[in-house]
Amino acid sequence: MRAAVPVLLALLVAGCAQPPRPGFGDVVRVCDGAGCRDQPKVSLAGPQELDRSTQRQQDPDAYRGEPVAALRSAAEGGDAGAAYRLGQAHEAGAGGLPRSTAQAARWYGAAAEAGMPFAAFRLARLVEQGAAPGGRARAVQLYAAAAGGGVAQAAHNLGVMALEGRGLPRDPAEAFRWFTQAAENGVPESQYNLALMYFRGEGTPRQPYEAIRWMRRAGENGVLPAQLALGRLTMTGLEEQGQDMQEAQSWLSMAAARGDAEAKRLLPGVTRAAQADRDAYQAWQRQYALQVAATRGYWAAMTYWSTLALPPVLFVRTW
């Protein structure tokens, strides 16, 4: 029987032998004891992988410390990925290069014209900041190209510009559309903005339940103002959300651990309430329920998150 095992493995490998396939197709070749078959990639993903709103999007072509001489040679030969990484090195002053937004814009432009959406996003940021020519109209065009190519942070920035009337006509409904696109693709700051729009009925019909749902997602993804807002909300209750001292303690603990002064002020009392016996717990609930107007006012006064940049270029060189 032992001799049959290598034979079986050889047959499976031979049965799976296929001409080279592009690395970004919609199907993959799966081989097991039942044979080989083409299977859609989406069917292999677990539930967590399918929910893009739980993970912040990463730049797959971020500069990782490649020698800039090699990048320059490849970029001058038409390699868009090398041009993009060279632009990042220039912007960050990495690889022995001096910082130069002009050179960064030059190479980002070459990569963006070749269809690299993250390059369009980084160039849009330089243009919006006045570090590259074109003004807000060009920044909007570049952000739109990046968002169309799947860069969720670009959709967020378009949402901010539409909400503020900066480079675009002020249009809360358009802002809501962009924030929804970004929120569903893992931008916590858009999740936070979307929650506020639902709560206020700005750009969309007012839906407090959706506001709480998206604020929870923002808080889970690390947005400090969302954590404080949820702590206050569950402490006093408001509309659809009832009081829950244990949950309030959890959210306020997150915010306090990150240094928020208001969370530190509220946390001791909420902790005592969460740990109290039934009669004392109900007394604490009645006391905090008197502060519901303050919670409503706090949510009404929260400010929208502004435009985003990609994280700074950081790398660990391993060669």
Degrees to nearest 5, angle at CA 249 with 244 and 255: 130
Q: pLDDT of 189-223, one tens digit each?
A: 999 999 999 999 999 999 999 999 999 999 999 99
Residue 102 vs residue 5, higher pLDDT: 102
Q: What is the pLDDT of residue 18?
A: 39
Domain assignments of the chain as residue spans, ordered by start: 197-301
- Find out whether 81 and 45 touch, Cβ atoms under 8 Å: no
Q: What is the pLDDT of residue 212?
A: 96
Q: Is the pLDDT of residue 133 over 70?
A: yes
Mean pLDDT over residues 248-274, rounded?
A: 97
What percentage of the chain carries pLDDT values higher than 70?
Answer: 82
Q: What is the pLDDT of residue 42?
A: 39
Three state DSSP letters for the chain = CCCHHHHHHHHHHHHHCCCCCCCCCCEEEEEECCEEEEEEHHHHCCHHHHCHHHCCCCCCCCCCCCCHHHHHHHHHCCCHHHHHHHHHHHHHCCCCCCCCHHHHHHHHHHHHHCCCHHHHHHHHHHHHCCCCCCHHHHHHHHHHHHHHCCCHHHHHHHHHHHHHCCCCCCCHHHHHHHHHHHHHCCCHHHHHHHHHHHHHCCCCCCCHHHHHHHHHHHHHCCCHHHHHHHHHHHHHCECCECCCHHHHHHHHHHHHHCCCHHHHHHHHHHHHHHCCCHHHHHHHHHHHHCCHHHHHHHHHHCCCCCCCCCCCCCCCCCC
Q: pLDDT of 146-186, one tens digit each?
A: 999 999 999 999 999 999 999 999 999 999 999 999 999 99
Q: Is the pLDDT of residue 116 over 70?
A: yes
Q: What is the mean pLDDT of the chain?
A: 86
Q: Position 210: which residue type?
A: E
Mean pLDDT over residues 109-126, rounded?
A: 97
Residue 94 vs residue 35, higher pLDDT: 94
Residue 291 vs residue 24, higher pLDDT: 291
Stretch among 7-21, 60-74, 255-269 having the lowest mean pLDDT: 7-21
Mean pLDDT over residues 300-316, rounded?
A: 82
Residues 6+ apart with CB under 8 A from 243: 234, 235, 236, 237, 285, 288, 289
d(CA 212, CA 302): 14
Q: Is the pLDDT of residue 315 over 70?
A: no
Q: What is the pLDDT of residue 62?
A: 93
Q: What is the pLDDT of residue 48?
A: 43
Q: Is the pLDDT of residue 44 over 50?
A: no
Q: pLDDT of 148-157, one tens digit each?
A: 999 999 999 9
Q: What is the pLDDT of residue 38?
A: 56
